[in-house]
Chain A
Amino acid sequence: GDSVTQMEGPVTLSEEAFLTINCTYTATGYPSLFWYVQYPGEGLQLLLKATKADDKGSNKGFEATYRKETTSFHLEKGSVQVSDSAVYFCALSAYNQGGKLIFGQGTELSVKP
């Protein structure tokens, strides 16, 4: 079945460092891909999304490109801030499954001043 695999955390970076969180997926058809972020004690919020191959989603300095050839959707940010500390979830919405989201296990990011 469809699945999402994220890199293991926690990831600890210094402020202004470059961030990459890897995400790969397995799916039939052409899924939509999402990154959600969860700040401590809160629910998930959409960070960005891409609905077709080669689309780039971007928001708040974060970017991810839908790569069909490598089945990947890696999250990047050029310069992280302490306020980016959170758990990041990669997810896919399969074409034939009523919009259900399948999540990766989450990657915790901690940014130190």
Chain B
Amino acid sequence: DAGITQSPRHKVTETGTPVTLRCHQTENHRYMYWYRQDPGHGLRLIHYSYGVKDTDKGEVSDGYSVSRSKTEDFLLTLESATSSQTSVYFCAISQKGLAETQYFGPGTRLLVL
């Protein structure tokens, strides 16, 4: 199994509070991705990174920011959580990006009350 961990695995928070989710990899892969999974929508890309300090937006990036200061860590921040951000969040990594297999972490369940 690819070495990807996510923390926390479960979180309950209140509307308006900031939340940071962490993805950590031990594979030294260049590309890292954050997705959210919601019923009826499959997985949708929030942000991705193609190197340290290099990030770009995905299709559902509003309300989210990311940072990557080290190859192994990719942080997703909800600046002011809303109930619509209740979801399961998955981190993924790939070595070369284009057409490469992505390896997924175990996910973080976030509930915003």
Contact = CB atoms under 8 A, between A and B. Distances in A.
Contacts, number: 60
A43 B99 contact: no
B99 A93 contact: yes
Interface in B76-107: 90, 92, 94, 96-107
A59 B44 CA distance: 25
A111 B90 CA distance: 26
Interface string A27-39: 0000010101000
Interface residues of B, number: 27
A90 to B, nearest CB: 9
Contact of B104 (A44, A49, A93, A100): A44
A113 interface: no
B27 interface: no
Contact of A51 (B99, B103, B105, B106): B99
Interface of A: 4, 32, 34, 36, 42-46, 49, 51, 89, 93, 95, 98-106
